[in-house]
Amino acid sequence: MSLGQHVVELRKRLMIAAAALIVGMVVAFFITDPVIHLITEPIRVIAEREGEENKVELMFSTITSGFDLRLRMSFAIGILISAPIWLWQIWAFIMPGLTRKEVRYTVGFLAAAIPLFFAGAYVGLLIMPHIVELMNNFVPEGGASFYDAAYYYDFVFKLLIVVGVSFILPVFLVALNFAGVMSGKAILKGWRVAILVAVIFSALATPAADVVSMLMLSGILVLLFFAAAGLSMLFDRRKAKREAAFLASETGL
């Protein structure tokens, strides 16, 4: 394909992806109520526990803040709903330039990364109520907690994204192994650094006082690291056997 044909193809793919995103946002706009109900469950739990002594409410500080919140949520949920379409458009654009082996590896990495991302987001959703309840415990006696809706949503959304992305990092380690950048043994040798990074990341992603959530998140990340290292070592062993068999066939031994 010429440069002009590539530009036309790219524009076509972008238009399809944008149309899918818009449709996803429209659909998502009508399901924001159950999502809001899900992420605000910790606030209701705290409100029931505190009773009338300490007010705990979700606050909409401007006239349009309710609509703004739903619009932002629609965009985020719309991206997830339309992901199969826009991911395919990206894939269809770059696939002609890949070899058959590269196509197979890319499909395998996507098949591993997507479930891991959603698993990480789910773990973030499990951690989130503990963080909200723990932080509320620091409100002094007689105080009131009014959570700004936009800030609360940003907190939850960023937490889910950060934890979700952290679950994908082991896939990149395996990708580096496939590319020949790092061997499985080299990855495993960095286990001390990996544990330290996992603990630091978990400490930053969760409040300092929430030790349980920090340990749970860091433990999962460490397990994923060792799984990636073990898988890379397995691939290295198979690669070594294939190379040995090839050399044996070439030398006639």
Distant-in-sequence, close-in-space partners of 108: CB < 8 Å, separation ≥ 6: none
Distant-in-sequence, close-in-space partners of 186: CB < 8 Å, separation ≥ 6: none
Query: What residues pair up with 146 in beta bridges, in sequence order?
Result: 57
CA dihedral defined by 127, 208, 58, 76, rounded to 10 degrees? -50
The values of phi and psi at residue 194, to 5°, are -65, -45
Q: Taking CA 144 as the corner, what is the angle to CA 143 and CA 146, rounded to the nearest 5 degrees? A: 150
The pLDDT assigned to 19 comes to 92
Distance (Å, rounded) from C-alpha 147 to C-alpha 124? 19
Distant-in-sequence, close-in-space partners of 78: CB < 8 Å, separation ≥ 6: 21, 22, 23, 24, 25, 26, 27, 28
Contacts of the segment 180-185: beta carbons below 8 A, 24+ positions apart = 182/232, 183/232, 183/233, 183/236, 184/229, 184/230, 184/231, 184/232, 184/233, 184/234, 184/235, 184/236, 185/233, 185/236
Query: What residues pair up with 59 in beta bridges, in sequence order?
Result: 148
Question: Could you please report the per-residue DSSP string of 182-216?
Answer: S-HHHHHHTHHHHHHHHHHHHHHHS-TT-HHHHHH
pLDDT tens, residue order, the chain (253 aa): 566 777 888 888 889 988 988 998 898 888 888 888 888 888 888 888 776 656 678 888 888 888 888 888 888 888 888 877 887 787 777 777 667 776 777 777 778 888 888 888 888 888 888 888 877 777 777 777 788 888 888 888 888 888 888 888 888 788 777 767 778 888 888 888 888 888 887 777 676 556 777 788 888 888 888 888 888 888 888 877 877 776 777 665 5
pTM: 0.73
Distant-in-sequence, close-in-space partners of 22: CB < 8 Å, separation ≥ 6: 78
Query: What residues pair up with 48 in beta bridges, in sequence order?
Result: none
Helices 65-81 and 83-94, axial angle in degrees (round to 10) = 50
Distance (Å, rounded) from C-alpha 11 to C-alpha 36? 35
Helices 65-81 and 149-178, axial angle in degrees (round to 10) = 20
Is 198 in contact with 225 (CB distance < 8 Å)?
yes
Cα 39 → chain centroid = 17
